[in-house]
C-alpha cells in the first residue's frame, strides 16, 4: 500500500457472510495507511443481497464511499476508478 493513490474494496452484496472479513480488511488498511478509498458492491440484484446503506453501516463508512458496481460493465468500473482518483486528487 505504500505509495498507493487509493484503495478499492470490492464485495458482493449477495454474500453477507463475507462482510466480517471485508470489514477486517478495510479496518486493517485504513488503520495503517492514510489512503483514499471506495467500496464497490456487486450483485445488488441477487437474492439475499444487502442494500448499499446497510453495507455502509456494517462497514462503518460513510454512504458516499459505497457504490454499486456491475463488474461486467467496463464503463461503470472505469467511472468508479475515476471517482477514486478524483477523491485522491482532493486529498482524501
User: Within 13 Å of residue 49, how many CA atoms lie on the same side as its CB?
Assistant: 14
* Host domain of residue 79: 7-89
- Is 27 domain-assigned? yes
| Structural domain count of the chain | 1
- Is 80 domain-assigned? yes
Confidence class for position 88, pLDDT limits 50, 70, 90:
very high
Report the predicted TM-score, pTM, of the whole model to 2 decimal places.
0.91
Confidence class for position 3, pLDDT limits 50, 70, 90:
confident
- Is 1 domain-assigned? no
Q: Would you say 66 and 55 are in contact if contact means Cβ atoms under 8 Å apart?
A: yes
| Residue 23, pLDDT score | 97
| Residue 91, pLDDT score | 78
| Residue 43, pLDDT score | 96
- Is 2 domain-assigned? no
Q: Could you report the per-residue pLDDT of 21-70, keeping only the tens digit for each?
A: 999 999 999 999 989 999 999 999 999 999 999 999 999 999 999 999 99
Residue with cell 480488511: 25
| Cα–Cα distances in angstroms (integers) from residue 48 to residues 24, 41, 44, 71, in the given order | 22, 14, 9, 19
pLDDT at 92 over 80: no
What's the CATH code of the domain at 56? 3.40.50
Amino acid at each position: 500500500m505504500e505509495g498507493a493513490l487509493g484503495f478499492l474494496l470490492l464485495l458482493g452484496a449477495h454474500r453477507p457472510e463475507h462482510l466480517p472479513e471485508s470489514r477486517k480488511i478495510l479496518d486493517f488498511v485504513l488503520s495503517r495507511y492514510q489512503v483514499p478509498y471506495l467500496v464497490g458492491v456487486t450483485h445488488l440484484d441477487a437474492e439475499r443481497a444487502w442494500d448499499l446503506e446497510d453495507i455502509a453501516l456494517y462497514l462503518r463508512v460513510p454512504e458516499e464511499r459505497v457504490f454499486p458496481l456491475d463488474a461486467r460493465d467496463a464503463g461503470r468500473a472505469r467511472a468508479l476508478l475515476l471517482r477514486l482518483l478524483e477523491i485522491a486528487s482532493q486529498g482524501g
